[in-house]
Structure 1
């Protein structure tokens, strides 16, 4: 069966996000001074052929851990979607 999986990869909260800081500076230059913080991450969608939802989640977990996220600098969240 085919399962759709969304993976959100974001920088760790304690680490500086240079991309986010650059975007925040641009927003402030545009007069949007109410923006207090910007964090830039990745949104990844996988279609996984697996025997069960749990097996699809395991595949997404392994892909995230081994390739999609740098766990030294990023965290990830996995969501099964319909």
Structure 2
């Protein structure tokens, strides 16, 4: 089983990397880009087939290591 975790900065938190990408897109001629938020995707291979247990385990991973929950939010997808 595989888990996919999407981690993004919370709304209102400054995203300098996203702003740099937005600026670069404008420089390259892409007009109309008003904002960019950059995040990360983490894929985790898990043993077993218990989706509920896997989701709980991955949530604990996010809370303890994968996301800074003060400034980041995360979504878990079990595939």
TM-score range, shorter chain: over 0.9
> Equivalent residue for 2:19?
21
Superposed counterparts of 1:67-82, under 5 Å: 67-81=65-79
TM-score between the two structures when normalised by the length of structure 2: 0.93
> Equivalent residue for 2:30?
32
Distance 2:49 2:5 in 1: 20
* Moved >3 Å (runs of 4+): none
Distance 1:53 1:66 in 2: 20
Tell me the matched-pair count. 79
Unaligned runs of 5+ in 1: none
> Equivalent residue for 2:63?
65
> Equivalent residue for 1:11?
9
Distance 2:54 2:10 in 1: 25
Q: Deviations over 1:33-70 (max 9, x none)?
A: 21111111010111112461111111110001100000
